Amino acid sequence: AQSVTQPDIHITVSEGASLELRCNYSYGATPYLFWYVQSPGQGLQLLLKYFSGDTLVQGIKGFEAEFKRSQSSFNLRKPSVHWSDAAEYFCAVGAAGGTSYGKLTFGQGTILTVHP
């Protein structure tokens, strides 16, 4: 069964500081990996996704993530955080094939607070 763990429930950073949100997944083969962001009272927006190829993927709003197969990780990074980045972030893993193709599992989420 696939699963996702986001070890940090809540992270606080200062505006302009760098950011890394952790995501660890469990899946039997190379999965599809996603990062979504949810602002308060809003739906989810896709930041970036990994299917195959280059393990460093670029997304919207200046975010990037790196797929590390050996560590089963897909951490999200941003070099300089803006106050508008305050939101909740979700990592997700999707089955790339087999009987569970189409199934998408989300992590518990990480709430990001940005101090001025």
Partner 1 sequence: EAQVTQNPRYLITVTGKKLTVTCSQNMNHEYMSWYRQDPGLGLRQIYYSMNVEVTDKGDVPEGYKVSRKEKRNFPLILESPSPNQTSLYFCASSPLRYQETQYFGPGTRLLVL
Rule CB under 8 A: is residue 106 a binding residue for partner 1? yes
Residue 4 structure tokens: 């996702």
Rule CB under 8 A: is residue 22 a binding residue for partner 1? no
- What region, left, alpha or beta, does residue 103 occupy, with left being phi > 0 and alpha being psi -120 to 50 degrees? beta
In the complex, least distance from residue 3 CB atom to partner 1, rounded to whole angstroms: 9
Rule CB under 8 A: is residue 104 a binding residue for partner 1? yes
User: Could you tell me how far CA 7 lies from the centroid of its own chain?
Assistant: 12
Residue 54-93 contact track with partner 1, rule CB under 8 A, x = bound? ------------------------------------x-x-
How far apart are alpha carbons 46 and 95 in whole angstroms?
Answer: 17
CB 4 within 8 A of CB 109: no
- Residues of this chain that interact with partner 1 (CB under 8 A) are 6, 9, 32, 43-44, 46, 49, 51, 90, 92, 94, 96, 101-109
